[in-house]
Amino acid sequence: MTLAPPIYRLEKTTHFYADKQVLDIADLEIPQGSITGLMGPNGSGKSTLLKILAFAMRPTSGRVRFKGTPRYPFSSEISGKVTLVTQKPYLLKRSVFDNIAYGLKLRHTPRGLKPRVQGAMAEVGLDFDRFAFRQWHELSGGEAQRVALAARLILQPEVLLLDEPVASVDAQSAALIRTASLAARKNRGTTLIITSHDLPWLFTCTDTQLTINNGALFATGREIVIPGPYARKERGTKAWTRQLDDGQIIVLPAAASAEKTAVIQRKHIRLTRPEETGAASDNRILGTVQSMYITGQPNEVMTTIDAGGVSFMLGMTSDRSARLDLQPGVHITLEFSSADIFWQ
């Protein structure tokens, strides 16, 4: 028995806007039927990656394999199979019905149009009688987002890419978008890749999460990015530092290039109460628990600790979290050795 190839495989993929590199992915595989969360600060390359995965643009270099075969924009083999909902979805200047039916009409599928539009609207929680014949400008932000999602779901795509789907919607719309996304995977095996700054929302609807920083990907939960700016520790030494907003300093190893990003694996970070005596680590950074939320994994709590403007997102069991008496607002010390930090 042979294993199904991953739905996506990116090989040595880079992308530049003019001279600025915005994406640098050595290798990425997305399994079929998975829901992947993509996190990262603004300008980190999330939207660019989604556009490349949507075959809306070619990367500057590298290849995007779809089910094992390299594919390119406007390739007929991926038309309608991969679809993207952008951050500010564009609704065509026509009714909700016509917006949702547009993709099907392109495929000359006029038969059974109404029940299919009704079905797609139901999936995103929009009442057909109330909304179908409203014009594009008669919708709220959340309703417009759901219409855009329904316009993709009606195509029954193999891959659904959602770029910040809950950035400007209310809690009800966010919950409906989550339900519709999960139902697409459950009912049709759709693969989803979702970007969001709303981490609790993202963790509740994704299986795995990736962090993107300066165009480079990291598997969240295993690696934590310490973003720049970095500075040389002292003249004549090879070590570098990262001064945090509150004045604390993280000691970093020698950098191969100032363009690289400092990364540490989660397992090398030890959490201790501030009153405990420090271990031999050269980095003891005081942070504050910002937020805690349960993830889709059983018994796992994701804790975000802010240390002078840098976020450390650490997953742990609820027992360990209880032992450390973690709760939002509590101070906690992060201990790690500069030798465990690497540049990527």
Binding site for other proteins (CB under 8 A): 51, 54-56, 73-74, 79-80, 82-86, 88-90, 92-93, 102-103, 106-107, 148, 151-152, 155, 161
Minimum distance between the CB of residue 164 and other proteins, rounded to whole angstroms? 13
Query: Closest CB to other proteins among 87 and 311?
Result: 87
Query: Closest CB to other proteins among 151 and 252?
Result: 151
d(CA 263, CA 275): 27
Query: Closest CB to other proteins among 43 and 73?
Result: 73
Minimum distance between the CB of residue 36 and other proteins, rounded to whole angstroms? 18
Per the CB < 8 A criterion, the answer to whether 149 and 169 are in contact is: no
Query: Closest CB to other proteins among 152 and 178?
Result: 152
Minimum distance between the CB of residue 175 and other proteins, rounded to whole angstroms? 24
Query: Closest CB to other proteins among 80 and 296?
Result: 80
Query: Closest CB to other proteins among 108 and 111?
Result: 108
Minimum distance between the CB of residue 193 and other proteins, rounded to whole angstroms? 13
Query: Closest CB to other proteins among 57 and 231?
Result: 57
Q: What is the 3-state secondary structure (H, E, C) of the chain?
A: CCCCCCCEEEEEEEEEECCEEEEEEEEEEECCCCEEEEECCCCCCHHHHHHHHCCCCCCCEEEEEECCEECCCCCCCCCCCEEEECCCCCCCCCEHHHHHHHHHHHCCCCCCHHHHHHHHHHHCCCCHHHHCCCEHHHCCHHHHHHHHHHHHHCCCCCEEEEECCCCCCCHHHHHHHHHHHHHHHHHHCCEEEEECCCHHHHHHHCCEEEEEECCEEEEECCEEEECCCCEECCCCCCCEEEECCCCCEEEECCCCCCCCCEEEEHHHCEEECCCCCCCCCCEEEEEEEEEEEECCCCCEEEEEEEECCEEEEEEEEHHHHHHCCCCCCCEEEEEECHHHEEEC
Minimum distance between the CB of residue 250 and other proteins, rounded to whole angstroms? 39
